[in-house]
Structure 1
Amino acid sequence: MKKVEIVGGGIAGLALAGTLDPSQFHVTVHEQRTGLPAVGTTLAMWPEAQKALASLGILDAVRENSPTITGGALRSAAGMPWLSVEGQNLVGVARHTLLRLLDSAVPPTVQKRNGKVDEVPGDAYLVVAADGVHSMVRRSVWGQGCAATLTPYLAVRGVIAEEPGSETIGEYWGRGDLFGIGPSSGGTNWYASFRSGMGPERIDVGEALAVARRRYAGHSQSIQHVLQAAMPETTLAQRIWTTPPLRRYSRDNVVLIGDAAHAMAPNLGRGACESLIDAVALGTLVNTLPLDQALAAYNRQRVLRTQQYRIGSSLMMRVALAEGAQPLRDKMLDLAAKRKSKAPRRSKTSQ
């Protein structure tokens, strides 16, 4: 049996543990967290991520526990819709639900160890860094120059029990801030981002929620309603970190997956999806190819795609959170909305 040491038992680590062939590998998952979280915000599962979930045998269970995201609108801070966004068969699954289902897909032969890992495990066929944006493995093997990069933005997000009205769903762009409202299982998922000096560690959630309420006091009534209903125990607050660019995700027998490889700004909604795809792609390759060939193929499949998303999400964050350029951005979006409203509609007979 070949030893595989997975450092990190989050989305990527559990998905990989569920993909590796237990008849070939003795897998150990190291996770600092002592249990699965009880609450969490909603993650949009794009079609390719849904395929990864299907390969793990949990897609039906994810769909049963999650709402379908059918669309929304890009709006001004006041709530005026600029552009409508059609749904693309997305599934909105709560993070804690996804982790629970991924954990259920892990074979019983996988050994799970709780506790902090301070050095890269030795004497293994394969070491997998699934330990997030602050990956100890990445810094140890790739060097301190690959440490995470702190952005000036705070992310505050949560869920409330009240379901959102269709006229409120979407993303609201203000001057240096954004706010999102969408469906979650049995309620509303919401998120906010804006420039802040809080943290970067040990951010008080209640204080962050109070700051968000003040920040969005002049915005749409839909936003203010959500924030007034939000409670600290169902809210998360953290500064946004990203990883630096990487040309390869493997060195010798060590490989990066998920946020350890390509932590990105949340503005494209692709982070969790790409982590799942990483894990299933790597596991499938390692199951069927010699290790050097598997890692070479993994780099070919995953590096360019995920680095493009990393760059794209950063660019989208700058546009969405624009401050000095906000008036120009809004004028362009106003113009786009007017042109779309004046465009002639094709009749059904002409389609």
Structure 2
Amino acid sequence: MKKVDIIGGGIAGLALAAKLDPAQFDVTVHEQRPELPTVGTTLAMWPGAREALAELGLLESINEQGTFLAAGALRKPSGQPMLTMEGGGLVGVTRPALLRLLDSAVPVSVRRKRERVELLPSDSWLVVGADGVHSTVRRTCWGARAAARPTPFLAVRGVVPSRPSPEDVGEYWGRGTLFGLAPTEGGTNWYASYRSQLGPERVDVAEALKEAQQHYSHHSAAVQGVLAQATPDISLAQRIWTAPPLAKYTRGNVVLLGDAAHAMTPNLGRGACETLVDAVTLGRLINDLPRQEALHKYNRQRVLRTQQLRLASSMMGKVALAETMQPVRDGLLKQVGKRVAGKRKGA
């Protein structure tokens, strides 16, 4: 039995633990949280993530518990649409629900240790850094230059009980502000991002909600109505951090997954999806190939794609949260919207 230590019991760690063959590996998941979170917003599952979930035997449950995402729009703060977006058959699932399903798929043979890991295990066949953007594994093995980097932006998000009108669904792009809302199980999933001095380490949720209400006081009634319902117990607030670019996600017998490898801004909604693909890809390779060959193929399959998405997400964030040139940006979006609408009519 080969000893595998997975540092981090979030999406990445649980998905990998669920994929590894219990007949080959003696797996331990180290997680500092005493229990799974109960508050979290909706994550859109793109096709690659859906394939990964199917490989874990969880896709049917995701479809049952999730919400299929319909059309939305990029909007001005007033709510006026600039560019209509199709849902494309995407399904949204809350982070707590996804974590519960992944947790249920982990074999009973996997050990769970509720602890914060400061020193990496020295007797492991494989050490997996699945410990997020502030990864101890990445800092230990890749050095201080690989430490997480804060952005100027805060992410405030949650779920409120009222259901959104289809005419209000989408993202609202203002001057240095972004706000999104969409239907989810039990109400409306919402998220906001803007420049803030709060944090950077721990952000008081009640203070962040007050700040958000001020930032979005000029937005549509739909946005203000959602924020009026938001309370600290059903909301989250945190500084947005990113990981620096890495040329490889492996060093010796150490490998990185998910945000530990490629933490990105949330503007493309791909972080959780690529994390699932990372975990299932690595698990499949490790199950079938010698370690070094598996890690080499993991790098080849995952580094370029995820680093491209990390860069694209950052660029999208800069456009969405720009503090100047809004008329030019919004005019270009409207022109794109007209062309897309024309093509749909032609089809």
TM bucket, shorter chain:
over 0.9
Cα RMSD (Å)? 1.3
Residue 270 of structure 1: aligned partner: 270
Residue 310 of structure 1: aligned partner: 310
Alpha-carbon distance in 2 for matches of 1:344, 1:114: 53
**Which residue identity does 1:93 align to in structure 2?**
V
Alpha-carbon distance in 1 for matches of 2:228, 2:57: 39
- 2:198 is paired with a residue of what secondary structure? coil
- 2:167 is paired with a residue of what secondary structure? coil
- The farther-off stretch of 274-283 and 37-46 is 37-46
Deviations 1:40-93 (A, max 9, x none): 110000111011111111111111111101221111111110111111221100
Residue 300 of structure 2: aligned partner: 300
**Which residue identity does 2:252 align to in structure 1?**
D
Unaligned 5+ segments in structure 2 are none
Alpha-carbon distance in 2 for matches of 1:90, 1:341: 20
Q: Is the 8 A contact 2:148 2:242 kept in 1?
A: yes
The question of 1:165 aligning with 2:162 is answered no
The question of 1:221 aligning with 2:229 is answered no
Residue 251 of structure 1: aligned partner: 251
Alpha-carbon distance in 2 for matches of 1:42, 1:344: 28
**Which residue identity does 2:214 align to in structure 1?**
R
Deviations 1:183-224 (A, max 9, x none): 111210000000111101221101100100011001111100
Residue 137 of structure 2: aligned partner: 137
Residue 98 of structure 2: aligned partner: 98
Residue 77 of structure 2: aligned partner: 77
Q: Is the 8 A contact 2:83 2:334 kept in 1?
A: no
The question of 1:34 aligning with 2:34 is answered yes
Q: Is the 8 A contact 2:11 2:99 kept in 1?
A: yes
Change (3 A) 1:112 1:344: closer
- 1:156 is paired with a residue of what secondary structure? strand
Alpha-carbon distance in 1 for matches of 2:296, 2:345: 49
CA shift for structure 1 position 27: 0.1
Alpha-carbon distance in 2 for matches of 1:164, 1:120: 46
- The farther-off stretch of 164-173 and 326-335 is 326-335
- The farther-off stretch of 30-39 and 261-270 is 30-39
The question of 1:187 aligning with 2:176 is answered no
Residue 198 of structure 1: aligned partner: 198
Alpha-carbon distance in 1 for matches of 2:338, 2:12: 43
Residue 320 of structure 2: aligned partner: 320
CA shift for structure 1 position 342: 6.8
Deviations 1:301-330 (A, max 9, x none): 000000000000000000000002223212
Residue 117 of structure 2: aligned partner: 117
Change (3 A) 1:243 1:343: closer
Change (3 A) 1:342 1:110: closer
Alpha-carbon distance in 2 for matches of 1:100, 1:265: 24
Identical aligned residues as a percent: 61
- The farther-off stretch of 11-20 and 162-171 is 162-171
Alpha-carbon distance in 2 for matches of 1:110, 1:277: 21
Q: Is the 8 A contact 1:181 1:190 kept in 2?
A: yes
CA shift for structure 1 position 335: 3.6
Residue 14 of structure 2: aligned partner: 14
**Which residue identity does 2:172 align to in structure 1?**
Y
**Which residue identity does 1:127 align to in structure 2?**
V
Alpha-carbon distance in 1 for matches of 2:232, 2:109: 38
Residue 156 of structure 2: aligned partner: 156
Alpha-carbon distance in 1 for matches of 2:249, 2:27: 20
Change (3 A) 1:206 1:222: same
**Which residue identity does 1:70 align to in structure 2?**
A
CA shift for structure 1 position 332: 2.0
Alpha-carbon distance in 2 for matches of 1:340, 1:275: 31
CA shift for structure 1 position 291: 0.2
Alpha-carbon distance in 2 for matches of 1:85, 1:67: 17
Alpha-carbon distance in 2 for matches of 1:254, 1:13: 14
Residue 261 of structure 2: aligned partner: 261
Residue 2 of structure 1: aligned partner: 2
Q: Is the 8 A contact 1:47 1:89 kept in 2?
A: no
Residue 174 of structure 2: aligned partner: 174
- Give the paired residue count: 347
- 1:178 is paired with a residue of what secondary structure? strand
CA shift for structure 1 position 338: 5.0
Q: Is the 8 A contact 2:18 2:105 kept in 1?
A: yes
Change (3 A) 1:340 1:29: closer
Change (3 A) 1:123 1:179: same
Q: Is the 8 A contact 2:82 2:330 kept in 1?
A: no
